[in-house]
Amino acid sequence: MIEFVNVNKWYGEHQCLHNINERVDRGEVVVVCGPSGSGKSTLIRTVNRLEPINSGSIRVDNADVNDRSASVNELRSRIGFVFQQFNLFPHLSVKDNIALAPMNVHRTPRVDAIEQAMKLLDKVGLRHKADAYPAQLSGGQQQRVAIARALAMKPPVMLFDEPTSALDPEMVGEVLQVMKQLANDGMTMICVTHEMGFAREVADRVWFIADGEVLERSKPAEFFSAPVHPRAQKFVSDIRS
């Protein structure tokens, strides 16, 4: 579903991604973790070309992400992205936030787009907030709306860039709940997250990144009980303490 082939990225003199060669199969849930500054956010942002790469290729659903001749908008409409800072549109109501992209990209008629928005709000448990504005919602509620907004485009793959890092602790659970439900429904997901409980329960695989390199990739159970790479071992022991 998603393939990284020899991906390298430099930011000026600093190399932030080293020879990334990975793949994510359809229906897989991959959690990307690592110390801060490791490049995990950069990696996930290259998938929908929010960040360019210097060499190598990334393919999503058999389409080359960096193909200059293809429409980047078309590609992005098939990839769902959830931001750490939610980035809801403050001047639009919740349901308009969700309906905006289907109406403008897929040319969905407003009636259908709103109906779909309401269904998605049901799914994330926020139907009663349909007419509210983002400023009136808590962080956890805003993030759930952001997930619904991304789902409105019916993407085959969802990317999560530290979706709960900006939330107060008591709201983390409600967002993880939505993400778990998505995973159980068979969505292909890459999640950059610190939430190890989520990784243990839902992930099929964990990628450990440090200094722009994927140093270890294994099943969550193995990763958290017996990491192989010394840096991974340090990371796991740091989390425990």
Partner 1 sequence: MLDILSDYWLLLLVGQFPQGPLGGIALTLVMSIAALLLAFPVAVAVAVARTSPIVWIRRAASIYVTAVRGIPLLLIIFWSFFVLPLVTGINSSASVTVVCALVVYEGAYLGEAIRAALDALPTGQTEASRSLGMSYWTTMMKVILPQALFNCLPSMMNQFVLIVKNTSLAYIIGSQEVTFSAHSINAQLLTKPFEVYFMLAGIYFVMCYSLSRIAKLVERRVERKRSGQLAVQGGRNSTLARASS
By CB under 8 A, residue 207 contacts partner 1: no
By CB under 8 A, residue 149 contacts partner 1: yes
By CB under 8 A, residue 42 contacts partner 1: no
Cβ pair 138, 171 in contact under 8 A: yes
By CB under 8 A, residue 63 contacts partner 1: no
Q: Which two structure tokens, joined as six digits, stand for 78?
A: 């098939």
By CB under 8 A, residue 134 contacts partner 1: yes
Of the ranges 113-121, 122-130, 136-144, 193-201, which one interacts with partner 1 (CB under 8 A)?
136-144
By CB under 8 A, residue 77 contacts partner 1: yes
By CB under 8 A, residue 112 contacts partner 1: no
Name the residue nearer to partner 1 (CB basis): 66 or 87.
87
Of the ranges 120-128, 135-143, 189-197, 221-229, which one interacts with partner 1 (CB under 8 A)?
135-143
Q: Which two structure tokens, joined as six digits, stand for 62?
A: 């058999």
Total residues at the site for partner 1 (CB under 8 A)?
Answer: 38
Name which position in 73, 128, 238, 241 contacts partner 1 (CB under 8 A).
73
**CA dihedral defined by 154, 217, 7, 198, rounded to 10 degrees?**
40
- Binding region for partner 1 (CB under 8 A): 48, 50, 73-79, 81, 83-91, 100-101, 104-105, 133-136, 138-139, 142-143, 146, 149-150, 153, 166-168
